[in-house]
Amino acid sequence: MKPWFAVVVWIGALLAGQFCTPGAHGHELSGYIEGEMRFFPNAPLFDGQQNNNASLALQPEYYHELKSGSSFTFVPFVRLDSADSRRTHADIRELNFLYLAERWELTVGIDKVFWGVTEFHHLVDIINQTDLVEALDAEQKLGQPMVHLSVPADWGTLDFFILPWFREMTFPGPGGRLRPGPLVDTDHPVYESPAEQSHLDFALRYSGTIGNTDFGIYHFSGTGREPGFLPAVTPAGGLVLRPFYQIIQQTGLDLQTVAGQWLWKLEALHRSGQGPAFFAATGGFEYTFVAVGDTAMDVGLLAEYAYDERGNRAGTFYQNDAMFGLRLTANDAASSEVLIGAILDLENRTKLISIQGSRRIGDRVKLTIDAGFFVDPDPQDILFDLRRDDFLRLQLAVFF
């Protein structure tokens, strides 16, 4: 854990220098506490898995801004889960100092960076590791230690990243649902690089806007975030999967263009270093009908497609899939919203249906209900082990 320590000390030193100077421009504590219940109506497939779980998560956020506009941010996260010991976890989502100069910005510490444009499959996003125990949609990320220099200019923005410490993907434990049969042995990962987690990773990105199009192109060199899996036998004789992290070279592209009510999106990447080099892409459109009928409701239609040259060897279920979505935005005071999604595998009959609805209650409380259904998972499909894991999830978050 040495590099972590070094980064923290570095931030500490920077802060000591900055905060002792007069002119502090205000600070703020915000965040949320969230209760969650997940119900799995079908009996579990694997030993140890439970039918329901209750969970509590807390994510406070401390923000301190200096008069110069530079700022310090600290966002810890902790979750307690009744069923899955690995879902009970803590993370530092953010702990960074942002130095704002006239022509550039420097972030040092732990931060979160998102790249991408599509709704379903976040293909090109790579800086932060996925906190998979949080949710299957892979949208929750672990904090990533970094030195990030951003240079915005008239001709676009250049971003340089030095990533000194690698974060391993989280996976459900024995008690958890939504996992493969053999447990992922997160205690014994395998690294291609002898430097293991302290391998220095780099990324360079150029992004900008030309007319109606936003674009981003990047190259990443370092430990691939998406692991391969090596079957292994435990001393007790059980089968486990050891995550295997390899050094990859990845070039990625993201585009989004607006044409009237149409929003077109494309993400593509080329990766080498994990077996044969391959190409993957995802893209599609979003079309919004505004103020439908005589109501304030907006109706958005989404259609996307995902392709991965690796086919069934891909570590993702998006290898040749079509995705469709319907988004209803009520535009009411409670910000009520419903998103219905379907992911259809075009090579077998596997389908994943999801429904998510949310609304605000009063000023500080938000209720989210979502459900996922695994329909006809094919024995060849990565989702086959999840065939009894249809779920209903209720989340009630109080913001402060």
Partner 1 sequence: MAIAKEADRRDSGFRDFTADMRMVLKNRHGQESVRAIRIRTLEVADDGDKSLTIFDNPRDIKGTAFLSYTHKSGDDDQWLYLPALKRVKRISSRNKSGSFVGSEFSYEDIASQEIEKYTYKWLRDETYNGQDCFVFARYPLDKRNSGYRRQVIWMDKAAYRVLKIDYYDRKNSLLKTLTAGDYHQYRGKFWRAHKMEMINHQNGKSTQLIWSNFRFGVGLKARDFNRNSLKRAR
Contact status: 364 vs partner 1 (CB under 8 A) = yes
**Residues 281-320 as x/- pattern, contact with partner 1 by CB under 8 A:** -------x-xx--x-x-x----------------------
| 137 vs 184: CA distance, rounded Å | 18
Whole-number minimum distance, CB 291 to partner 1, in Å? 5
Sketch the per residue contact string, 51 through 90, with partner 1: x for CB under 8 A, - otherwise: ------------x-x-----x-------------------
Nearest to 140 by CA among 206, 79, 223: 79
Q: Is position 357 an interface residue for partner 1 (rule: CB under 8 A)? A: no
Euclidean distance between CA atoms 28 and 33, whole angstroms: 17
Query: Which of 38, 199, 225, 366 is close enough to bind partner 1 by CB under 8 A?
Result: 366
Q: Which of 51, 68, 234, 331 binds partner 1 (CB under 8 A)?
A: 331
Q: Residue 244: which H helix or E strand, with range?
A: strand 239-245
Stretch that binds partner 1, among 50-58, 161-169, 189-197, 363-371 (CB under 8 A): 363-371
Which one of the spans 2-10, 176-184, 359-367, 386-394 is the region binding partner 1 (CB under 8 A)? 359-367
Q: How far is the CB of 313 from partner 1 (least distance, A)?
A: 29
Amino acid found at 301: L
Comparison of 249 and 257: residue with beta carbon closer to partner 1: 257
- Closest CB 344 distance from partner 1, rounded Å: 24
Q: Which of residues 197-256 bind partner 1 (CB under 8 A)?
A: 207, 209, 212, 214, 256
| Residue indicated by tokens 């989404």 | 302
* Interface region with partner 1, contact rule CB under 8 A, candidates 172-180, 185-193, 245-253, 327-335: 327-335
Question: Which of the stretches 108-116, 174-182, 184-192, 266-274 binds partner 1 when contact is defined by CB under 8 A?
Answer: 108-116
d(CA 251, CA 309): 15
Among 19, 39, 279, 400, binds partner 1 (CB under 8 A): 400
In the block, residue with structure tokens 């550039």: 104
> 73 or 350, CB closer to partner 1?
73
| Nearest to partner 1 of 150, 223 (CB atom) | 150
Shortest distance (Å) from residue 116 CB to partner 1: 8
Instruction: Convert residues 123-152 into a mask of x (bound to partner 1 by CB under 8 A) and - (unbound).
Output: ----------------x----------x-x
CA 10, 13, 18, 24 dihedral sign is: positive
Q: Are 112 and 130 in contact (CB under 8 A)?
A: no
In the complex, the smallest distance separating the C-beta of residue 299 from partner 1, rounded to whole angstroms, is: 11
- Per CB under 8 A, contacts with partner 1 among 251-270 are 256-258, 260-263
Nearer Cβ to partner 1 (298/309): 298
For 6, the enclosing helix (H) or strand (E) is: helix 2-19
> Which amino acid is located at 222 in the chain?
G
Q: How many CB atoms sit inside 10 A of residue 5's CB?
A: 9
Output the DSSP codes for 290-354. -S-TTSS-EEEEEEEEEEETTGGGSSSS-SEEEEEEEEEE--STT--EEEEEEEEESSSS-EEEE
Least CB distance to partner 1 at residue 340 (A): 19
Cα dist. 206→100, 216, 263 in Å?
19, 6, 21
CB 14 within 8 A of CB 29: no
The number of CA neighbours under 13 Å toward the Cβ of 388 is: 14
Number of chain positions touching partner 1 (CB under 8 A):
46
Longest dimension (CA), the chain: 66
Q: What is the DSSP string of 247-266?
A: EEEEEEEEEEEEETTEEEEE
Query: Using the rule CB under 8 A, which residue among 12, 17, 239, 332 binds partner 1?
Result: 332
Backbone angles phi, psi at 384, to 5 degrees: -60, -40
β-pairing, 89-100 with 105-111?
Answer: antiparallel
How far apart CA 98 and CA 75 sit, in angstroms, is 14
Q: Is 30 a residue that touches partner 1 (CB under 8 A)?
A: yes
Which residues contact partner 1 (rule: CB under 8 A)? 30, 32, 63, 65, 71, 98, 105, 112-114, 116-117, 139, 150, 152, 157, 207, 209, 212, 214, 256-258, 260-263, 288, 290-291, 294, 296, 298, 330-335, 360, 363-364, 366, 397, 399-400
